[in-house]
Structure 1
Amino acid sequence: MSQTVRTTAERYPDRVTYDRDAAYAILDEALAVHVGFTTDDGPMVIPTLHVREGDRLLLHGAAHGRFMNVTATGTAVCVTATLIDGLILGRAASHHSAAYRSVMVFGRATAIEDLEERADALARIVEGVLPGRLSGPHAARRPDIEESRYTAVLSLPIEEFSVKTRSGFARDEPKDDGVESWAGVIPLTLTAGAPEPDALTGTRFPAPQYTPPGRARRAP
């Protein structure tokens, strides 16, 4: 889908792109998205883990929760993912900012009703967040049919979207050139720490070597 009214930026349009590969890279790196929708009680925004499968997003939540009850009816949703790559410091407080990459996806989701298909989708979400968790030695048990009865999955086509990014340094004004304050960028990264076993696991199994590849934050 081409640029729409909802995806057109009114502020800093030079930071916006409608490149599908750029959108997919952000969605694949983000560990969670926020889903916005309207209810009879007003607007709501729900965070959830997700996975991108080709040209769609898989979103999960409690089967009988408000999130699924409302969005599964085909109501319009807005899904956003944001990666903060750094803090941008200027010489003036008003020019402080953040280095970021973000994507917004608009559309209407469809509930996966078939329980076997839903259980498989739940497994793919787990594997999407942590590849290797459900395969190989000491793999976790895959979701079963009974578990898919109380955890629902939505499929959202990625058709109407926009990407917005910010990088570089602060746009200080000449009048602040003489301010004696450090200016530049403080990069931020998200890294996995050492695995911490629970009481039952203890030292019975080796610590997993898998981490979320491709999801570590990149410096701006």
Structure 2
Amino acid sequence: MNAPRPTAQTERTTAYRYPERVTYDREDAYAILDEALCVHVGFTTEDGPFVIPSLHTREGNQLILHGSAHGRFVKTVSSGAPVCVTATLIDGLILGRAASHHSAAYRSVMVFGTATPVEDAAERAEYLARVVESVVPGRLSASNAARRPSVEEAAYTAIMTMPIDEFSIKVRAGFARDEPKDDGVEAWAGTIPLTTTPGTPVPDTLTGTRFPAPVYDPAIHRFRQN
């Protein structure tokens, strides 16, 4: 029998400010993590706190993070130190009649726990390939695929796995929370939607136009290599 999955809501994932914006739906957390191209990993060292960006991927209930094999992130996390991984998607700007009520429309997720280093170099190489495939689906499986990571290359790249068990989601949408005292202020109020607009791929000088460029797929918020 499988062990029961830990509850997402804990003392440190419980929100005390605007708790109505917080949920603990696992599928919603997965969706935010999957759409985000980058997460930020927070941890504390003897020199103080650090937050580093990391490309990532998700496999089931597990985050895959990578970084330098000799960086402080790996050295700290390998000792079992707690980490906090965050992903934030900005969906718009919220403008009110009062400056203090301006805000942003966003979807965010925070994941707490510990990460485990992948020790086997061949396994690390495979995980690196999965991160690349997550960022540009088909990049390593298309007819004009890029070369896969080698075991030698994986020797100086660290891979960390982290379960997505203790987490919270916070979503802000709608309009500003203007107060009646500002109803007479003659200023525009509303929401300005923001989206990520993909640019046209620019080939390097060696390959030129000999190979087809990745094509943006809005359904997955990624460029896909066909």
TM-score category of the 2 structures, normalised to the smaller one: over 0.9
- What residue identity is the alignment partner of 2:182? D
What is the CA-CA distance between 1:70 and the residue it aligns to? Answer: 1.1
In structure 2, C-alpha distance between the alignment counterparts of 1:34 and 1:51, rounded to whole Å: 13
Q: Percent identity among equivalent residues?
A: 71
Question: Alpha-carbon deviations, 1:60-90, whole Å to 9, x = none?
Answer: 0011111111112211000000000000000
Q: 1:168 aligns with which of 164, 171, 174?
A: 174
* SS of residue paired to 1:135: coil
Aligned residue among 140, 145, 148 for 1:139? 145
Instruction: Give the corresponding residue for 2:62.
Output: 56
Distance 2:191 2:88 in 1: 18
Q: Which position in structure 2 is the counterpart of 1:47?
A: 53
Equivalent AA in structure 2 for residue 117 of structure 1 = E
Query: What's the CA shift for 1:191?
Result: 2.4
2:101 & 2:40 partners in 1: Cα distance? Answer: 27
Q: Relative to 1, partners in 2 of residues 1:130 and 1:213: Cα closer, same or farther, differing over 3 Å?
A: farther
The alpha-carbon deviation at position 210 of structure 1 amounts to: 5.0
| Residue 187 of structure 1: how far off its partner (Å) | 0.4
Alignment counterpart, residue 210 of structure 2, candidates 187, 193, 204: 204
Select 1:150's aligned residue among 156, 160, 166.
156
Deviation at 1:213, TM superposition (A): 4.7
What runs of 5+ residues in structure 2 fail to find an aligned partner? 1-5
Mapped to 2, the partners of 1:195 and 1:147 lie a distance apart of: 26
How far, CA to CA, are the matches of 1:213 and 1:43 in structure 2? 37
Cα deviation 1:164-188 (Å, max 9, x = unaligned): 0000000111111111111000000
The match for 1:27 among 26, 33, 37 is: 33
Residues 132-182 of structure 1: CA deviation (Å, up to 9, x unaligned): 111111111110100000011000011100000000000111111111111
| Residues 213 and 141 (structure 1), Cα distance of their counterparts in 2 relative to 1, 3 Å cut | farther
> Structure 1 residue aligned with 2:71, among 65, 75, 79?
65
Question: Deviation string for 1:30-58 (max 9, x for gaps)?
Answer: 00000000001000000010001100100
CA RMSD of aligned residues (A): 1.2
Q: How many residues align?
A: 216
Q: 1:149 is aligned with what amino acid?
A: A
1:110 equivalent in structure 2: 116
> 1:94: how far off?
0.5
Structure-1-length-normalised TM-score:
0.95
Letter in 2 for 1:99: A
User: Which SS does the other structure have where 1:101 is aligned?
Assistant: strand
Mapped partners of 1:213, 1:145: distance in 2? 33
SS at match of 1:51: strand
Q: Distance in 2 between matches of 1:112 and 1:154?
A: 6
Offset, 1:208: 2.3
Q: Hey, what's the Cα distance between the residues in 1 that align with 2:169 and 2:52? A: 20
In the alignment, is the contact (CA less than 8 A) between 1:34 and 1:80 conserved in 2?
Answer: yes
Residue type at the aligned position of 2:110:
M
Q: Is the 8 A contact 1:60 1:151 kept in 2?
A: yes
